Structure 1
Amino acid sequence: MTDANPILDTTGTLLERMGIVLEEMSPGRVTAHMPVAGNTQPYGLLHGGASAVLAETVGSVASALHAGKDRIAVGIELNCTHHRAAREGLVHAVATPVHLGGTLATYAITITDDSGALVCTCRLTCLLRERPPAS
């Protein structure tokens, strides 16, 4: 990991395992996509937990960018409402801020399929803390 942007090194992380690709990254908007293939439940539909991982990823990255390099963002609440199934292609996530405070950051996340149809809506709240010393 780099000191300046430790959230950008996804080597060996869940993001890498699930095929999540971060695209646009700023405290005001983070986007990413993920393949449906390999992230399904036994019925062949996108797993709800995979949607939650994608949502927490974009919301956490945005929160960490808002927090700055001397602080970290730790997720404390995630909720997801699943609207429709995705069976193939990619799903696309967009995180936008609801609240950007000094100790909490909350993001609304939408997940859509390749046609733009809404798959899932989520809200993530992160606690912003001082970065612990390196051990």
Structure 2
Amino acid sequence: MSIWKTPLTLEQLNQQSDNTLVSHLGIEMTELGDDYLVGTLPVDPRTHQPFGILHGGASVVLAETLGSTAANLAADPDCYCVGLEINANHLSSMRKGTLTGTARAIHVGRSTQVWEIQMHNDQGKAVCISRLTMAVLKREAGA
């Protein structure tokens, strides 16, 4: 049974990110399951830090993108979600390839949501794990 309350296709999700930080970094949503969202981030000079490895902030951008997108899909249509807190544990480094993240809900409530985003490299090795807390807010009438 799907947890999504706002049904969108992967194509629609990716189009929403046109001309944003998400598209600039090459983040792409690649899979939408009944209770998870998967996306990728290329590890290349756009996402490197000065030592030639994946910048930790780029991992957090992927986590925030996946968790925030998923939270808004899981929220009632008369609500929207914004980030309250994010943390990340960087477990290993990457120099090239693709970072793949999977966002899964830990808690989907009326006023808050908590998402866990696990990220791994092309070989399946854990690179980063993040937890994102979202506030669920009511849309104003006419907005």
TM-score, length of structure 2 as denominator length: 0.85
Aligned to 2:111: 103
- SS at 1:30 equivalent: strand
Paired residues, number? 131
Gaps of 5+ in 2: 1-6
1:51–1:110 distance in 2 versus 1, CA, 3 Å: same
**After TM superposition, where is structure 1 displaced by more than 6 Å over at least 4 residues in a row?**
none
TM-score, length of structure 1 as denominator length: 0.90
Alignment counterpart, residue 134 of structure 2, candidates 126, 130, 133:
126
- SS at 1:114 equivalent: coil
Distance 1:26 1:117 in 2: 22
Identity level (%): 37
Deviation at 1:70, TM superposition (A): 2.0
Distance 1:83 1:99 in 2: 24
Alignment counterpart, residue 15 of structure 1, candidates 11, 14, 22:
22
Gaps of 5+ in 1: none
Aligned to 1:42: 50
Alignment counterpart, residue 32 of structure 1, candidates 39, 47, 53:
39
Deviation at 1:111, TM superposition (A): 0.6
RMSD: 1.8
